[in-house]
Copies of this chain bind each other. A is one copy, B any other.
């Protein structure tokens, strides 16, 4: 007989732009917010009784009202105050998950100077956070998506397993590129989320760049390890997930045209793509 299993509901794609008018020099925060609630919602499903259901429209309203009431110091703090509200103030809610993406803008140069209120969209990389609040506590998993990285050398791939279907040639010098999604869970919440995020991101990029790569797997492991092992300036991270498509760059065969191609002209391909998923955690 059928029974209700896991269920949750919320509002996704809530677009919020906040203008911080601190004198003449404005700042903007450009966010996409998603809320999702779990709790005592069996009757909403099984009987159709909505009396415990806070409408997703209300969740959206709450996001906008909280932006005004509490501001958006960092996306992590904003997500925490929202998630705690849903769990604390809405009785049927046992667990609230709030995801926030921050779309980056930079101050525009106008006639050579940084302008007070003109901004230029800066992408594709997007800062993310996912905050989950339950009776047990608060989890903050921050990250980045669409961090597109490329190394034009310093990457090889050889010595792999060969079977009947293998045609790939080993290479000691290839282009390695990925559009990284990384998510790390803070073991201890940092005092400054902006700085913590910047630090982790810098470690990820630096390891990607500095390591001579034997495989994308190895690179991801080293990136994750550097984040978890941290150090003096680094936030306390107990877990990092890395999802990395291998954006293949194929050397073009120019021999039919009487030309060599010493690692210079490549086709960037979309599909198919390798997809490597690695989790590194603190033991």
Contacts and interface: CB of A to CB of B under 8 A. Distances in A.
Interface of A: 1-21, 26, 28, 30, 34, 36, 41, 44-58, 60-62, 64-65, 67-69, 89-90, 92, 105, 108-111, 115, 117-125, 147-154, 157-168, 175, 179, 202, 205-206, 208-210, 214-215, 217-218, 220-221, 224-225, 228-229, 239, 245-246, 249, 252, 254, 256-257, 259-283
A92 to B, nearest CB: 7
**Cβ-closest 5 pairs across A and B:** A121-B148, A5-B279, A48-B214, A118-B209, A13-B271
Nearest to A1: B283
A168 B159 CA distance: 34
Given A16-B267, A19-B263, A108-B209, 18 more contacts: A7-B279, A9-B217, A11-B274, A12-B271, A15-B268, A15-B270, A21-B264, A54-B163, A58-B165, A61-B165, A61-B166, A61-B167, A90-B161, A92-B161, A108-B208, A110-B209, A117-B151, A123-B123
Given A9-B275, A19-B263, A110 B206 contact: yes
Given A108-B209, A120-B148, A215-B44, A272 B13 contact: yes
